[in-house]
Amino acid sequence: MTILDKIINDKKNEIAFRKSVFPSSYWESSPLFERKTISISNLIRKSKSGIIAEHKRRSPSKQTINNSLTVNEVAEGYENGGVCGMSVLTDGKYFGGSLEDLTIARASSNIPLLRKDFIIDTYQIIEAKANGADLILLISAVLNKKEILKFSTFAKKLGLEVLLEVHNIEELEKAIMPSLDLLGVNNRNLKTFEVDLDISKSLVDKIPDEFIKVSESGISNVKTIQELKTYGYQGFLIGENFMKTDNPGAAAANFIKQLENEI
């Protein structure tokens, strides 16, 4: 059994428990459920950097990354740093996140927020909307085509944008559909956690131009983004590179300034 298999099995149990305690109607009564969302797609199209910065305390591959900062510190720093959006890990067991992190980030900033989790149920999409998310992540590696269509269509009805993540051509081919906004190529293999930037380069031509093209994971320097831009990528999800510092917001600001000065 791979790490990904273990995560999904645990996620199923977690969702069953959460449903028993907090039914969908509980989340639908949240004041944030009626909130008008912010389009990250529009911001990325207008941006010179396309940076989506991530809040991540730990991961199965790196263990502890940064446990010393509050979510509001990170969210405020990222917003002041000029990012296009913020990715918030909400998985608890493997990444040290929570839905509360998403809510706090929403209260602390006015930038698009991505709920980054292993979504396998529409219930999680309702949770995302009720806790301040503007878009959700769907992972092609753990969903079939019917599920991707179901979840992305449901998210769009709630006013959320959808980032679909792929790792290879098979995952990409089953995922292309009008209910998606952004197509992300994750350079990290979710089964082995090895990183290879050539994955982004090899798949970009297979992604239709109507989608925002996002490269994820393993991006740590400006030159990498400059190169990926020549391939057609517009968005870049960066987490560990900022979060491993004492001041992720300042790190993001410096990174963006350097990138924009060299474009």
Encode pLDDT of 223-235 as tens digits: 999 999 999 999 9
Residue ranges per domain, the chain?
3-262
**Active-site annotation holds for 116:** yes
Give me the catalytic one of 109, 140, 217, 240.
217
Mean pLDDT of 166-170: 95
Instruction: Provide the pLDDT for residue 60.
Output: 79
Q: How many residues does the chain have?
A: 263
Known active-site residue 150: no
What integer is the mean pLDDT of 214-242? 94
**The dihedral formed by the CA atoms of 75, 79, 83 and 87, expressed in degrees to the nearest 10:** 20
Active-site residue 54, yes or no?
yes
Instruction: Name the catalytic one among 47, 140, 186, 189.
Output: 186
Contacts of 158 (CB under 8 A, 6+ apart): 125, 126, 129
Sign of CA dihedral 118, 123, 125, 128: negative
Residue 106, number of CB atoms within 10 A of its CB: 21
pLDDT score for 160: 98
Angle, nearest 10°, between helix axes 222-231 and 248-262? 50
Task: Tell me the pTM.
Answer: 0.95
Determine the average pLDDT of the residues in 112-126: 98
For residue range 65-117, what is the model confidence (pLDDT) as tens digits?
777 789 999 999 999 999 999 999 999 999 999 999 999 999 999 999 999 99
Asked if 217 is an active-site residue, the reply is yes
Find where tokens 């490269």 sit.
215
Say whether 186 is catalytic: yes
Residue 171 to residue 217: CA distance in whole angstroms: 17
Active site residue 200: no
Active-site position among 165, 171, 213, 240: 165
Give CA–CA dist 159/56, Å, rounded: 25
Question: Which of 11, 41, 49, 56 is an active site residue?
Answer: 56
- The class level of CATH for 3-262 reads alpha beta
Nearest 5°: phi and psi at 50?
70, 25
